[in-house]
Chain A
Amino acid sequence: MAFLKVVQWIVWKDLVTEIRSRETISSMVFFALIVILIFSFSFSMNQQAAQEVIAGIIWVAFAFTGIIGLGKSFSSELQNDCLESLQMVPAPKGAIFLGKVTANFAFIFVVEILLFPMFVIFFNLDVIEEIPILLLIFFLATIGLSAVGTLFSALTVQIRAREVMLPILLLPLVVPVMIAAVEATKGALHGDPFSLYRQWVELLSIFDVVFTVVSFWLFEFVMDS
């Protein structure tokens, strides 16, 4: 089916480009490490206080790191006017959207997986049993960030002040994702029973479904005149 082929090829192209140039993931990981270090210095914490803020620090780091990756997603297409060639593809623009979202999701998720052990080490977290649920939370929140972020990456790439407009436009809209992710992560790290923070996981799922659909539909208007 032509639609799926377009999605596959876009994902392939983004992954191969990243594997060869190694630009995006390495800069994301190092940026996040610096963020973690700065937070550690800013909060002189004992174990008790750390438990309260660690979830917030994790998601601030992931959000800002994600924004770097999302920005590169479409700014890399500006070279050689490749954005033009994507606009001329004889397939529904939604296919390009899904391809880009998948690739962006993959990059951000990989960075999160690479970084989480750092958090465990630096902040002495005891989380072996909670790994599956934490992975689920990371997965759901990253989908939401990637869907809306890809839409805005495509939108801001063609305007002035693009690097600063992406976070300005994206972050207020993903406030529900941040709140839900932080609360769910806090609950999981604390070892609470799932029923206590389950509403947040449900909120993440609802946000993902609603915003992937709405962004998919609106992407057409961003890419096409």
Chain B
Amino acid sequence: MTAISATHLSKSFGHYHVLQNISIEIAQGECFALFGPNGSGKTTLLKIFATLQRPTSGHMAILGHDGSQGKEEIRASLMFLAHGSHLYEDLNAIENLQFALSLRGLSPSDHEIKVALDRVAIGAFSEMKVRNFSAGMKKRLALAKATLAQPQVLLLDEPFSALDTAGMEIMQNYIREVVHRQGTVLMSTHDSDKTRAIAHRAGIIRKGHLEPYDIGTSPDYGLS
């Protein structure tokens, strides 16, 4: 079944037309990489799929739920790891996870939280206030949030920025895991090298239009 679909999607901010007539279908269990120069509208497209922005014209649907009518259902099954970490500086790592997941209707046990934090290698900092985290640590904590929420659709805005080599590997493995359980991943990125091994397809936004983009994808899903 189609996980993410857009039909003649356009978005303009006043007089500036960012996205024009974008149509795409991404199936369940697929990983799609979105390329494009700075300011091309990658983040805007992701925000429209995340229901944060309303398209100027056209439709979008996530897992069959329409973008304008089924917002709550979409938000329950989707997770967006954006540029901002969505973390509260005065809470510590554990509290941030508890808060974010409770708002989604989940209540993870202490053990599950510990496992998730260890998995992204910040288990030692679980009681530390996020104010003292580095940018990379915040990105890892956001990833831990996703591992606990287990969304069916995952949107990533430049997931590899601010991460060190170890962090990038953790991110790649997590994306593989999501695809493996038939989840769908849509990510915007600048880095063809890192994406080659995990993306099934790629596209590029040029002049507001979405075109297929060949980066020599050779998704490696043999390993678990």
Please report A residues at the B interface, Cβ cutoff 8 Å: 2, 5-6, 9, 12-13, 16-17, 20-21, 79-82, 84-85, 87-92, 224-225
Is there a chain A Cβ closer than 8 Å to B85's Cβ? yes
Q: Shortest CB–CB separation between residue A81 and chain B, in angstroms? A: 2
B84 A84 Cβ-Cβ under 8 A: yes
- Please count how many residues in chain B sit with their CB below 8 Å of the partner chain's CB atoms: 31
Q: For window 139-168 of chain B, which residues contact chain A by CB distance below 8 Å?
A: none
Interface hub of B86, B87, B95, B99 (most chain A Cβ within 10 A): B86
Chain B 60-104: CB-based contact to A (< 8 A → 1; otherwise 0): 000000000001110110101011111111110001000110111
Question: Contact: B87 with A80, CB < 8 Å?
Answer: yes
CA distance A79 to B87 in the complex (A): 8
Secondary structure dominating the interface of A: helix
Interface of B toward A, CB cutoff 8 Å: 50-54, 71-73, 75-76, 78, 80, 82-91, 95, 99-100, 102-105, 129, 138
The CA of A6 and the CA of B88, in the complex, are separated in Å by 16
A-B CB contact pairs (8 Å), 21 listed: A9-B103, A16-B90, A17-B88, A20-B90, A21-B90, A79-B89, A80-B86, A80-B138, A81-B85, A81-B86, A82-B87, A84-B80, A85-B86, A87-B52, A88-B50, A89-B75, A89-B103, A91-B72, A91-B103, A91-B105, A225-B54
The answer to whether A90 and B72 touch (CB under 8 A), given A80-B84, A81-B82, A81-B84, is yes
Which single member of A9, A20, A79, A92 contacts B99 (CB below 8 Å)?
Answer: A9
Contact of A6 among B75, B82, B103, B129 (CB under 8 A): B103
Given known contacts A9-B102, A90-B72, is B86 in contact with A17 (CB within 8 Å)?
A: no
Question: Measured between alpha carbons, how far is A92 from B138 in the docked complex, in Å?
Answer: 28
CA distance A90 to B51 in the complex (A): 11
Closest Cβ of chain A to B3, distance in Å, is: 17
In the assembled complex, which residues on chain B have CB atoms less than 8 Å from the CB atom of A84?
A: 52, 80, 82, 84, 86
Closest 9 CB pairs of A and B: A81-B84, A85-B86, A90-B76, A90-B75, A225-B54, A17-B90, A20-B90, A89-B103, A80-B84
